[in-house]
Structure 1
Amino acid sequence: MALDICHTVLLHFVHILLWTRLYLWTLVLRFISKPFGLCIGERRKLSAERCRIDSKNLPKLPLHIGLQIVENRISDGDVANLLVWCIAMGFSYISLFDNEGYFKNNPSRLRSVLQKKMADVSESDHLVFQIEVPVRNGGKCYEVISKDTSQATKRTRIAIMSCEDGRGDILDSARHLCQDVADKRYRASEIDIPHLDQVMNTLLDYPDPELIIQFGRVNSLLGYSPWKIRVTEILSVPTHHSINYQSFVNVLQSYSKTQQRFGK
């Protein structure tokens, strides 16, 4: 009994030490990143044109990028900045994932902050986005917000996801396949990997992400659907707090240098 109590106290102590270390590291980044940003020319208002030029200078960009937040404290403003940069760079699909459903439970909060951050970017009138929340009633997505402008030529779709979506996609697909067999639309022997792929893609018609940027020091998918990331490059960043534009571009540069061999 006494040994169990000692183990519990020790685990709590280690947890407090790790949390304190991460918190102090976040504070250090917050104070360092601001002067660094000024050195690289971020004193001036960031323009959508600069983002577009930077994206064209990269050898490779993802069609679908995932932003996974695995930190206890989430900064709405910093996440909105990341989304604005992705939109300005022309990504077609963005998946915003956090384990607890922080954004999914209140998408209007993200909408409000994203609109304010978009206004901080010059030449952003042509940028169009829509936020979608996966739902479990038939696998459809409903649109929460779209930034409407008649000059738009391209729209970025943003899916807000949580751990329930990873498990939910697999469960919904299994139910769908079982119902197909029960209704005699297919035989059980006809169910194969391509068929399962087709079913899962109808739930959320996004392509698999080529890149996931994981923010935090937890090396875990935390419920992100493993079916969707079979060939996804996953890059880690210590924290999303106070991240600046150049740091984000540096991550994309690292991705553009990777070679995916697809198991070869």
Structure 2
Amino acid sequence: MADLIFRTVYGLILTIIHTIYAFYTSVRSTYNITRLRIASILNYHHRTPANIRKDVALLKKLPDHVAVILESKGKKEGGVEKLIDEVADLSCWCASVGVATLTVYQKTGMLKNYETPAHRAVSERLHTYFGSTRPTFRITSPHSPNAPSLPPNGDAVHDEEEVDLEINFVAQDDGRESIVDFTRALSDLAQGGKFNSEDVSVDLIDQEMKASVMGEPDLLILFTPRVFLQGFPPWQIRLTEIFHLEDNEGVSYTVFLKALHKFAGAEMRWGR
């Protein structure tokens, strides 16, 4: 009898705690989403680079390389078209503040199959923001062919040419494949007597990871509801500043701007 009473009381307490916590998270989420939407209205840039540059004019520093994590979209959420639209917006914001490299991480690698439509969308969106003086850009993906990129005059940008904005499409498999390929190459060299295991160093691995996947981002923005890196290549974010806004569920200029402000105030201790 006593055991039954104990289990009943215990279950009741857990139910009460769960209800209170669910109510708290619901109120918190509603509050944060409402505040974010109001801020988005107040901070709207009107697709004008001058307005965006004005928003960051007082920042002491800006990232040279920004990485973002995007959520996969179902058909009800717009699918790959929505992802491409988000990439186009992010490209314009980065170009407006002078970011040289934008890395877009999408876990499944869906975007890699749509480099040409993505290129077209980014080109058109840049034209909307910048007019005929839109910046040059290039879209690349590790372990897949590169898509051509068009500068303002419409000519093709070759791989060796410099561009204003480098856009990388990265997926979960890229980090794993690069490590496997690198390990296999070292093994082959060692078996052929052309490489000594003592020559393996952090600098050597770092150089290879940057060359085969991407360089190390200065800032990683999570456009996701919770802090979850989703398999983002770990080697590239050892010293990266990571930004996440609680309860945020999509790409918005306000979140991008808040991330830049947070980065500007961050103190880089470089492992100390």
Query: Shorter-chain-normalised TM-score: which range?
Result: 0.7 to 0.9
Alpha-carbon distance in structure 2 between the residues aligned to 1:207 and 1:226:
12
Query: Which residue in 2 is equivalent to 1:125?
Result: 133
Query: Which residue in 2 is equivalent to 1:144?
Result: 147
TM-superposed deviation, 1:36: 4.8
Query: Which residue in 2 is equivalent to 1:214?
Result: 222
Letter in 1 for 2:67: G
Which digits, 9 at most, give the CA deviation of each residue in 1:232-260, with x for residues without a partner? Answer: 111113445362x3442122101111112
- For the aligned residue pairs, the C-alpha RMSD in angstroms reads 3.1
Alpha-carbon distance in structure 1 between the residues aligned to 2:222 and 2:251:
15
Tell me, yes or no, if structure 1 residue 173 matches structure 2 residue 182: yes
Q: Secondary structure at the match of 1:166?
A: helix
Query: Which residue in 2 is equivalent to 1:50?
Result: 51
Query: Which residue in 2 is equivalent to 1:260?
Result: 268
Q: Which protein has greater RCO, CA pairs closer than 8 Å, 6+ apart?
A: 1
Aligned CA distance change for structure 1 residues 252 and 169 (closer, same or farther; 3 Å): same
Query: Which residue in 1 is equivalent to 2:104?
Result: 96
Alpha-carbon distance in structure 1 between the residues aligned to 2:36 and 2:130:
22
Query: Which residue in 2 is equivalent to 1:61?
Result: 62
Which structure shows the higher helix fraction? 2
Long gaps (5+) in structure 2: 1-21
Stretch deviating more after TM superposition (49-58 or 106-115): 49-58
Tell me, yes or no, if structure 1 residue 114 matches structure 2 residue 125: no
Query: Which residue in 2 is equivalent to 1:163?
Result: 172
Letter in 2 for 1:147: L
Letter in 2 for 1:102: M
Identical columns (%): 22
Alpha-carbon distance in structure 2 between the residues aligned to 1:240 and 1:248:
13
TM-superposed deviation, 1:98: 0.9
Long gaps (5+) in structure 1: 1-17, 136-140
Letter in 1 for 2:186: L
Tell me which of 172, 182, 187 is aligned to 2:191: 182
Aligned CA distance change for structure 1 residues 109 and 49 (closer, same or farther; 3 Å): same
Q: Secondary structure at the match of 2:110?
A: coil
Letter in 2 for 1:223: G
Aligned CA distance change for structure 1 residues 39 and 226 (closer, same or farther; 3 Å): closer
TM-superposed deviation, 1:124: 6.3
Aligned length: 233
Alpha-carbon distance in structure 2 between the residues aligned to 1:228 and 1:54:
28
Aligned CA distance change for structure 1 residues 190 and 54 (closer, same or farther; 3 Å): same
Alpha-carbon distance in structure 1 between the residues aligned to 2:113 and 2:149:
18
TM-superposed deviation, 1:144: 1.0
Q: Secondary structure at the match of 1:144?
A: coil
Which structure shows the higher strand fraction? 1
TM-superposed deviation, 1:175: 1.4
Alpha-carbon distance in structure 2 between the residues aligned to 1:242 and 1:193:
35
Q: Secondary structure at the match of 1:121?
A: helix
Of structures 1 and 2, the larger Rg is shown by: 2
Aligned CA distance change for structure 1 residues 56 and 160 (closer, same or farther; 3 Å): same
Alpha-carbon distance in structure 1 between the residues aligned to 2:40 and 2:199:
56
Alpha-carbon distance in structure 2 between the residues aligned to 1:32 and 1:190:
54
| TM-score in terms of structure 1 length | 0.75
TM-superposed deviation, 1:87: 1.8
Alpha-carbon distance in structure 1 between the residues aligned to 2:193 and 2:227:
43
Alignment of 1:16-95 (within 5 A): 29=33, 36-40=39-43, 42=44, 45-70=46-71, 72-73=73-74, 75-76=82-83, 77-95=85-103
Letter in 1 for 2:227: N
| TM-score in terms of structure 2 length | 0.73
